[in-house]
Structure 1
Amino acid sequence: MTRIFLCVVLFFSVLASSLQAQNSGKRRLTDRDDLYGWEAVGRLDIGNQGFCTGTLIAQDTVLTAAHCALDKKTGKPYAPGEVTFRAGLSDGEALADRKVIQIAVHPDFVANAPVSIPRIRIDVALMRLEEPIPYSIADPFALHNGRVPDGEISVASYGRGRADAITRQRSCRILQRAEGIISFNCDVTFGSSGSAILARSGPRWQILSVTSAMSTDGRYKVGYGMELAGIVAELKAILRRDAPRPVATIRRLQPGSAKSGSGAKFISSGGS
């Protein structure tokens, strides 16, 4: 850690000791009624290596932390199919399972670098799914834009000791928001990495930040995330630029027939 980051951690750890206990307002979302409105939150299963939390921001796009998206051994994004997004996972059953086929992270993010303020600012990843998840199953969250006047936020995540269902903390608080970093007193833990920090906008919550790191004084935790607008726009551009191209296949058709045969050859994008 840099000296600046250590100072930030120590300052907020002391501040957190005066805050309300962090287990207040937490609820485990298990049945369909509990999950209503939170179906877009899912567990990202990374092979046999563990899991993080991700959130749909489009039918085929998951927002999470960059350190959840890179293989620590190679420093590169996980290969297509290595990560599975399990929307609304509860007690072994997901509303939808989708393989991740493309990952975008900031080019300056280094998988095994120590935690620092510059690293937290870019600890964001977008993951493209093999197939969109219909709105009838999960309604993606929008990004929050602007201030949060009362500082009230919420988090819904998986984590150590609560890996089998979403745990939602209904209300926690922003501690400070400056220099591209947002610190908060939500109860995050291992596995909560990548979870969306949510701020209310009208009747629904929107994504303010993504959980990147935490500190603790042994009793209270302080979480850290980043401002999203700029980096998410960059990552969307990377997804578009590097999107997998559909594979062209050859199909033989007989004239005047839909049956395969020895007639003219047609190129069909994506197969048929």
Structure 2
Amino acid sequence: MRWLAIILCLMTGGVASAQTTSLRTLDTDYSAASWKAVGRIDFGRGAFCSGTLIAPDLVLTAAHCLYQPGSNRLWPTDAIRFRAGLRDGEAVATRSAKGAAAHAKFDPIGPLSVYNVAHDVALIQLSEPISTFDVPPFYIHNDRIAPGPVSVVSYGRDRANAQTRQKQCQMLAQLGDAMVFDCDVTFGSSGSPVFSHLNGRGRIMAVISGMMDVEGQKRSVGMALPDRVTEVKRQLRLQVAPLTAKVRRITVGNGQRNNTGAKFVRP
């Protein structure tokens, strides 16, 4: 089923849209202090995604980020670098990767379907742990998910050198294990954490898989995480290598590939 048809069926007009706030650049030590675990993942030269530390040596991001754009090759592990809290060229901590795994059920050449978005989850294991004193990791949201306010911290095209935060956007609909948001993301925001704020410090309820244009309105999509993260952790431990398949990541829409990893769709 097409995303457009699903969204138009499930979205109600004006779902809390007036409460959605604008992006704010975290350009001071004070504003960025709580979000140091969100960083930029650099792949080779020029490509990047967003990612979040969820353990001293584990970074959560989107599965499609691990595939090189415009080819059927995966990024070699030694080409992956995580820079926690990157701002104006300075990171709180920088680590290379020693391992990475995308969810085994994610299809890099498949459509932007509910099933594929629901499995667009990956973990990167860092070469050395990052001190939790310096960078406290975020936890995964394990409670019930309901439409309503969330927030996003991300990097992206034209804002690649500092985090931006949307203090409040909306989860509009849940489609199985996939979710639709009105959060303001762009190329490079793939893998960005979507936070719930029900119990004090934010918990990650989804990561951004891609974005699409629905009748002139930008919508982002992500997935429910607890089961997917557990499954990818198991892959990483067992050194299962879904990344060895000869596959390529698609960019849906105008057919142009973008080296920052996000997908953009115009139904």
What interval of TM-score do these two structures reach, taking the shorter chain for normalisation?
0.7 to 0.9
Paired residue for 1:154, among 151, 155, 162? Answer: 151
Paired residue for 1:6, among 4, 7, 18? Answer: 4
Q: Is the 8 A contact 1:17 1:220 kept in 2?
A: no
**Partner secondary structure for residue 77 of structure 2:** coil
- For 2:125 and 2:14, how far apart are their aligned partners in 1? 36
Gaps of 5+ in 1: 244-272
Q: 1:161 to 1:20 in 2, by over 3 A?
A: farther
Deviation of 1:211 (Å): 0.4
Q: 1:227 matched to which residue of 2? A: 224
TM normalised by structure 2 equals 0.82
Q: 2:109 matched to which residue of 1? A: 112
Q: Is the 8 A contact 1:43 1:52 kept in 2?
A: yes
- For 1:68 and 1:186, how far apart are their aligned partners in 2? 19
CA-to-aligned-CA distance 1:190-240 (integer Å, 9 cap, x gap): 111000110013220000001012112464311111111111101111111
Deviation of 1:178 (Å): 3.2
Q: Is the 8 A contact 2:52 2:60 kept in 1?
A: yes
Kindly name which structure, 1 or 2, has the bigger radius of gyration based on alpha carbons.
1
Q: Is the 8 A contact 2:147 2:173 kept in 1?
A: no
Whether 1:20 aligns to 2:18 is: yes
Deviation of 1:4 (Å): 2.9
Q: 143-152 or 232-241, which moves further after superposition?
A: 143-152
Whether 1:38 aligns to 2:43 is: no
- For 1:51 and 1:217, how far apart are their aligned partners in 2? 25
* Larger relative strand fraction: 1
Alignment RMSD (CA, Å): 2.3
Superposition pairs for residues 190-209 of structure 1, below 5 Å? 190-209=187-206
Q: 1:97 matched to which residue of 2? A: 94
- For 1:114 and 1:16, how far apart are their aligned partners in 2? 28
Higher relative contact order (CA 8 A, sep 6+): 2
TM normalised by structure 1 equals 0.81
CA-to-aligned-CA distance 1:155-188 (integer Å, 9 cap, x gap): 0000111111000000111101231111111111
Matched positions, count = 240
Superposition pairs for residues 1-272 of structure 1, below 5 Å? 3-10=1-8, 15=13, 19-20=17-18, 24-72=21-69, 75=72, 77-148=74-145, 151-217=148-214, 219-242=216-239
